[in-house]
Structure 1
Amino acid sequence: MPSPTPPHPPGPGRGLQPRAPTLPGPASAVRRTSYGPTSPEVGARGAHTRRRIVDASLGLFDELGLHHTSVEAIARAAGVSRATLYQYFPGKDQIFLELMDECARALVRVARRIGELGPTEIGFDNLNWWLGEWSWVFDKYRTMFVQWSLVASADPAVRPEVIHFVEGYNHRMAARLEAADVSGVDPESAAVAMTAVVHRLHLFRHTGRVYEADSQELTQALSVFLQLVLFPDTPNEVLLPFLSTVTPYTPVVPPPPECEALSLRTRVRGLSPRAVATVERLVVAAAKQFAAKGYHRTNVDDIVASAGLARGTFYKYFHEKQDLLHTVCVEATAATVELAGRLRRVDVFDDAALRPWLRDFVRFLDHYRGSVDVWSERLAEGGVIVALGAHAQGVLDRALLEVLTSVRRDYPFDPLAGTLLFRALLTRVPEAMREETEIPMGEEQIVDLLVFSVRRGFFSHLTAPPI
């Protein structure tokens, strides 16, 4: 796959740049040394075979996902034997890493070409240019970006490489922000939050969770949001050329599936207090393991070990891992609905109301992150889980929309784009601030950053107090 060429001509300060550094390679394989992309032994024919393997993997990762793609399937799609594939890659994780490296190089090239940022027309134009280029790169490598997010939190072979790249990229962006004299927030924290929101919003686009919102309009709304977070004193005349009047929009909330029989309440009905406690321990342990390792890499032994129970006890109450996942997702949906109901009563200008809600939402994500990730997968296991995720998302989005439209702004505001940005901020930034900074943020620091971002990005240019 060739490296992308930015579709737009260079702007001020966007000259030719040196080649981006590669990511560190994976650990050496148990098998004999493979033919890397620059190996002198590979030759033209070998390079062609290697490229076929990589391209076939990209197609299968897009169709099936990394977890459901086997080495046999890759070899068959590439028209080679397993033995031949192993001469080039120790396994599918290393193929994933090579594809990820291509994505990383593209993003670094774009980052190197960003011009001066600031509360000026040129600064805003440069920010908008960067976001437009990011969108273009994401579209070109959409398969890898989608899988990147789903795999990085759980795959021990991939995770260090993802973190290594993201940290380096954020350092580069932080230097840009520091040079622009960003105030009110540490440049490193601002860079992590900024890239987290951008990536998550595009992930929403490519997993069908943006209510068919227009890509260009989302990029423009994202530009305004980040510009106000970073430079709240940006004059309105700078923002207005990037905005247009939009019509009100209310997210459609799909009805919840019929799944009362899968709820914890139903599962423990009629059981003894001791049995109830056992089932509850299994549900809590499953949520914890799904969050730590990801659903696909968690097995029954992990769950019972975490719960301090025997394997036979698990099968007394649940048929299989997916049966337990259903119950965890039902509980996660109920928690989302409860949080959304509380959010509708929150005054975003009142610390005593906003901060406790954000704190509880961060804790919710910490506990149910693995289940929420399953909702995000296009190949989630079972229609019930997909339906639960769609209902939970719709309920939360409706509450976010009500909060955002409770004020009047002195510039055109797109309520749909704002809702999607708010969701991206809440669902990705807490995790990013723990995983993508040299010193992980504590809970209160994360809440501080969320309050700062929400108020600056959505409520800094107002013409009237809350309605």
Structure 2
Amino acid sequence: MKSLKEQRRIEIIEAAIKVFGEYGYHKGKVEKIAEKAGIGKATVYEYFSSKKEIFQQMLRHAFKTYIEEAKKATLGKSGAKNKFTALLNYHWDFIDLHVDTIEQTFFQFKNISDEIKPYIIRSHKIMIDFLSEIIAEGMKIGEIRADVDKEKAALMILGVIASSNFMRYFSKNKEHSDIDAKCVVDALFEGLGGRRQ
């Protein structure tokens, strides 16, 4: 169970997600974050030293939440193919929910301190390890060739997930925006799957 202090920090971060999503980093004032959280501006500074720290901790919270929920999305799914399909659907749902914040903050990496960068790198490694585990499961049941390099394949899949954002949200080609998870995973497995006799 989270302490009252930790719960308040999360409430401020969640308010910041909404404010930065609506106004962007530069126009998203601490006063607006405080108002959205239902507290005074002075109270915000009891938990965070600056707007920049709020932004950095917002990113940290987002990465942590994304990974936790991504893992939950694959629970109860059998086989790598089904797990990757569930993961991609979760990823798109996450983007749908936070698309405004992502668009407004995508180019704000100059506001990320050296303290947060190692955390982002660790989060990336956690995702690679998670994808590698799914690939290993696929190897065991013959969905994926036994000679596939798990880590390289995981990096490739992470790239596919990232590029799918462009296809669905930024491409003007309607066929790209209508793409579904099964279509992506089926195409992926044509390259990773074992040859059928």
Q: Same fold (TM over 0.5)?
A: yes
Query: Contact 2:74/2:83 (CA < 8 Å) preserved in 1?
Result: no
Shift in alpha-carbon separation, 1:215–1:155, aligned structure 2, 3 A: same
Sequence identity percentage: 19
Query: How far apart are residue 67 of structure 1 and its match?
Result: 5.2
Q: Could you say which structure has the larger radius of gyration?
A: 1
Query: How far apart are residue 166 of structure 1 and its match?
Result: 1.7
Query: Contact 1:97/1:158 (CA < 8 Å) preserved in 2?
Result: yes
Q: String of CA shifts for 1:272-305, please: whole Å, max 9, x gaps.
A: xxxxxxxxxxxxxxxxxxxxxxxxxxxxxxxxxx
1:131 maps to 2:88: yes
Q: Which position in structure 2 is the counterpart of 1:85?
A: 44
Per the alignment, in what secondary structure is the counterpart of residue 217 of structure 1? coil
Q: How does 1:23-62 map to 2 (within 5 A)?
A: 38-39=2-3, 42=5, 47=7, 50=9, 52-62=11-21
Q: How does 1:381-396 map to 2 (within 5 A)?
A: none
Structure 2's unaligned 5+ residue stretches are none
Structure 2 CA distance for aligned equivalents of residues 192 and 75 of structure 1: 39
Given candidates 146, 160, 171, the residue that maps to 1:197 is 160
Given candidates 14, 18, 28, the residue that maps to 1:69 is 28
Q: Which position in structure 2 is the counterpart of 1:211?
A: 173
Given candidates 162, 168, 171, the residue that maps to 2:120 is 162
Q: How does 1:97-108 map to 2 (within 5 A)?
A: 97-108=60-71
Whichever residue aligns with residue 231 of structure 1, its letter is G
Count of matched residue pairs: 187
Q: Which position in structure 2 is the counterpart of 1:224?
A: 186
Give the TM-score normalised by structure 1.
0.34
Whichever residue aligns with residue 221 of structure 1, its letter is C
Q: Indicate the RMSD between aligned Cα atoms, in angstroms.
A: 3.4
Query: How far apart are residue 167 of structure 1 and its match?
Result: 0.8
Could you say which structure has the higher helix fraction? Answer: 2
Structure 1 CA distance for aligned equivalents of residues 76 and 91 of structure 2: 12
Query: Contact 1:110/1:134 (CA < 8 Å) preserved in 2?
Result: no
Query: Contact 2:89/2:181 (CA < 8 Å) preserved in 1?
Result: yes
Whichever residue aligns with residue 137 of structure 2, its letter is A
Shift in alpha-carbon separation, 1:108–1:170, aligned structure 2, 3 A: same
Query: Contact 1:151/1:159 (CA < 8 Å) preserved in 2?
Result: no
Whichever residue aligns with residue 100 of structure 1, its letter is F
Shift in alpha-carbon separation, 1:150–1:201, aligned structure 2, 3 A: farther
Greater relative contact order (Cα < 8 A, sep 6+): 2
Query: How far apart are residue 177 of structure 1 and its match?
Result: 1.2
Query: How far apart are residue 168 of structure 1 and its match?
Result: 0.7
Structure 2 CA distance for aligned equivalents of residues 111 and 125 of structure 1: 8
Structure 1 CA distance for aligned equivalents of residues 119 and 64 of structure 2: 9
Q: How does 1:248-259 map to 2 (within 5 A)?
A: none
Q: Which position in structure 2 is the counterpart of 1:172?
A: 130
Structure 1's unaligned 5+ residue stretches are 1-36, 118-123, 236-467
Structure 1 CA distance for aligned equivalents of residues 32 and 44 of structure 2: 11
Per the alignment, in what secondary structure is the counterpart of residue 179 of structure 2? helix
Shift in alpha-carbon separation, 1:55–1:129, aligned structure 2, 3 A: closer
Q: How does 1:47-446 map to 2 (within 5 A)?
A: 47=7, 50=9, 52-66=11-25, 68-90=27-49, 91-92=53-54, 93-117=56-80, 124-143=81-100, 150-151=107-108, 155-156=112-113, 157-181=115-139, 182-183=144-145, 185-203=148-166, 205-206=168-169, 208-213=170-175, 215=177, 217-231=179-193, 233=195
Per the alignment, in what secondary structure is the counterpart of residue 38 of structure 1? coil
Whichever residue aligns with residue 162 of structure 2, its letter is H
Query: How far apart are residue 85 of structure 1 and its match?
Result: 0.5
Query: How far apart are residue 125 of structure 1 and its match?
Result: 4.3
Shift in alpha-carbon separation, 1:192–1:108, aligned structure 2, 3 A: same
Q: String of CA shifts for 1:210-240, please: whole Å, max 9, x gaps.
A: 43446553423312221122216369xxxxx
Query: Contact 1:132/1:219 (CA < 8 Å) preserved in 2?
Result: yes
Whichever residue aligns with residue 17 of structure 2, its letter is L
